[in-house]
């Protein structure tokens, strides 16, 4: 397994181009199942989750050509509406084929994803919504089998209330509702920018989706076979952008220009960075982040959008390790998303965990160490911690990072970081 070796201690300076959003590209790739013909996605990041999704779509019978940043998906000869465990276990977002498959082909068999490092992550809300739309759902040997009404018929519109806002749950039901008969109402929806991006695609394809970005959405479906393929450039990745913003703020004197980032989607993070004393300014299509003074501590609670994103919690926690005073960071989305804390403690961070809250006492410096990545965002936080320490850090099991950060070493090197990948390092 590869590792990333970082020798930190100096401020990052320079320009970094922000890639297309992984969490927008994944549901949009799955939306290609809703139509015949060839769809073309532009600004797709070169990531393992994208190649895993491409492999899944091929398994389902599609023709997929990945030449990042362009991916084309066309219909193949036969459709096999089944997502196998081997692919779903590599990437939980594979569950996003469930809604499109059952809506388009009347049947889907998708492996249950199981738990993962950050929490149990059930899909009950996805299934509840599909049932309300007339699906018969059964569980067979670890697989969810969904069948349209009367043995594979067209789904019917329904009113679905989500007990909690779920991003992929909202996306699955938006896609299913696009081919259902009538107007579906989704209540207590996720409001993430990636949900809005999927709505743009479904509208381009010919469905009618209103209210994306609010907590109530209406989706009017069209007949099977009536949605059109599309050509679309994916929005910038707000979490990748946020990660480089935090990295740029780790040292006084750091100044990073993020090319193609959109501040509008990052308000919760930007507000907290400014409260910590970091300068963040929009410059046309770019965003400039500069750290000119010591960091102030923060109180942060993660929440569904437009709250502070759980996908930035690990990174901001590392930043707070270098603030003067005590920060309090509470995680409310996933029950086990502090796996980076014991690794950071090995680097000299002073963090006390009390249930779902981390109390962080800023320290003068972090020390290099060998640390282990446990999930995608935790891995990024350990790389950032390595950049803050003045000696060498080796982050192991970086396959997590390759799922969600495009060319991370090159991008950091472009900002002046001393960072390299060590092929086949010990796990």
Residue 130 as a binder of ligand EPU (CB under 6 A): the answer is no
- Minimum CB–partner distance for residue 76 and ligand EPU (Å): 24
User: Toward ligand EPU, which CB reaches closer, 8 or 404?
Assistant: 404
What whole-number distance in Å separates Cα of residue 408 and Cα of residue 2?
Answer: 13
Residues 6+ apart with CB under 8 A from 350: 321, 360, 361, 362, 363
Of the candidate residues 121, 204, 413, 421, the single one contacting ligand EPU (CB under 6 A)? 121
User: Toward ligand EPU, which CB reaches closer, 35 or 310?
Assistant: 310
Residue 187 as a binder of ligand EPU (CB under 6 A): the answer is no
3-class DSSP assignment, residue 21: coil
Contact (Cβ atoms closer than 8 angstroms) between residue 159 and residue 182: no
Residues in contact with ligand EPU, counted by CB under 6 A, come to a total of 25
Catalytic residues: 116
Residue 377 as a binder of ligand EPU (CB under 6 A): the answer is yes
Angle at which helices 267-275 and 238-248 cross, to 10°: 10
Phi, psi for residue 241 in degrees, rounded to 5: -60, -45
Phi, psi for residue 418 in degrees, rounded to 5: -95, 95
Residues 6+ apart with CB under 8 A from 303: 332, 333
* Residue of 388, 349, 373 lying closest to 246 (CA atoms): 388
What whole-number distance in Å separates Cα of residue 24 and Cα of residue 43?
Answer: 11
Residue 167 as a binder of ligand EPU (CB under 6 A): the answer is yes
Contact (Cβ atoms closer than 8 angstroms) between residue 257 and residue 12: no
Residue 169 as a binder of ligand EPU (CB under 6 A): the answer is yes
Of the candidate residues 147, 262, 311, 409, the single one contacting ligand EPU (CB under 6 A)? 311
- Minimum CB–partner distance for residue 111 and ligand EPU (Å): 15
User: Toward ligand EPU, which CB reaches closer, 333 or 385?
Assistant: 333
Q: Determine the interface stretch with ligand EPU among 115-123, 217-225, 286-294, 344-352 (rule: CB under 6 A).
A: 115-123
Residue 234 as a binder of ligand EPU (CB under 6 A): the answer is no
Of the candidate residues 32, 39, 90, 125, the single one contacting ligand EPU (CB under 6 A)? 125
Of the candidate residues 30, 123, 130, 235, the single one contacting ligand EPU (CB under 6 A)? 123
3-class DSSP assignment, residue 245: helix
User: Toward ligand EPU, which CB reaches closer, 1 or 164?
Assistant: 164
Residue 404 as a binder of ligand EPU (CB under 6 A): the answer is yes
Of the candidate residues 65, 86, 124, 210, the single one contacting ligand EPU (CB under 6 A)? 124
- Minimum CB–partner distance for residue 364 and ligand EPU (Å): 30
Angle at which helices 22-31 and 48-59 cross, to 10°: 10
- Minimum CB–partner distance for residue 365 and ligand EPU (Å): 28
Phi, psi for residue 2 in degrees, rounded to 5: -75, 155
Residue 376 as a binder of ligand EPU (CB under 6 A): the answer is yes
Contact (Cβ atoms closer than 8 angstroms) between residue 320 and residue 330: no
**Which residues make up the interface to ligand EPU (CB under 6 A)?**
23, 26, 92-93, 119, 121-126, 164, 166-169, 190, 194, 310-311, 333-334, 376-377, 404
């Amino acid at each position: 397994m590869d590792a990333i070796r970082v020798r930190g201690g100096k401020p990052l300076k320079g320009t970094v181009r922000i890639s297309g959003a992984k969490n927008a590209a994944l549901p949009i790739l799955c939306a290609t199942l809703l139509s015949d013909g060839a769809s073309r996605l532009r600004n797709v990041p070169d990531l393992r989750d994208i190649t895993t999704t491409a492999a899944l779509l091929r398994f389902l019978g599609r023709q997929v050509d990945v030449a990042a940043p362009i991916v084309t998906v066309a219909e193949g000869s036969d459709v096999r509406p089944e997502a196998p465990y081997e692919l779903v276990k590599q990437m939980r977002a594979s569950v996003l084929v469930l809604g499109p498959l059952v809506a388009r082909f009347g049947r889907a068999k998708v492996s249950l994803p199981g738990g993962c490092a950050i929490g149990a992550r059930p899909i009950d809300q996805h299934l509840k919504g599909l049932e309300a739309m007339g699906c018969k759902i059964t569980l067979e040997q670890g697989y969810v089998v969904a069948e349209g009404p009367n043995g594979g018929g067209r789904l019917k519109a329904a009113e679905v209330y989500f007990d909690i806002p779920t991003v992929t749950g909202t996306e699955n039901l938006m896609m299913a509702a696009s081919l259902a008969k009538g107007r579906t109402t989704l209540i207590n929806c996720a409001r993430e920018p990636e949900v809005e991006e999927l709505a743009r695609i479904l509208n381009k394809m010919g469905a009618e989706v209103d209210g994306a970005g609010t907590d109530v959405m209406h989706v009017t479906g069209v007949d099977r076979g009536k949605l059109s393929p599309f050509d679309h450039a994916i929005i910038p990745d707000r979490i990748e952008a946020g990660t480089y913003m935090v990295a740029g703020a780790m040292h006084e004197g750091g100044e990073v220009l993020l090319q193609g980032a959109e501040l509008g989607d990052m308000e919760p993070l930007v507000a907290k960075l400014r409260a910590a004393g970091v300068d963040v300014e929009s410059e046309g299509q770019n965003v400039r982040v500069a750290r000119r003074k010591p960091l102030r501590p923060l109180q942060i609670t993660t929440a569904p959008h437009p709250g502070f994103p759980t996908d930035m919690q690990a990174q901001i926690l590392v930043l707070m390790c270098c603030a003067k005073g005590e920060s309090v960071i509470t995680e409310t989305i996933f029950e086990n998303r502090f796996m980076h804390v014991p690794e950071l403690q090995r680097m000299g961070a002073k963090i006390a965990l009390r249930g779902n809250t981390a109390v962080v006492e800023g320290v003068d410096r972090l020390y290099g160490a060998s640390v282990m990545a446990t999930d995608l965002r935790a891995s990024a936080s350990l790389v950032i911690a390595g950049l803050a320490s003045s000696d060498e850090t080796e982050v192991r099991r970086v396959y997590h990072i390759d799922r969600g950060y495009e060319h991370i070493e090159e991008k950091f090197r472009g900002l002046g970081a001393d960072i390299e990948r060590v092929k086949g390092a010990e796990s």
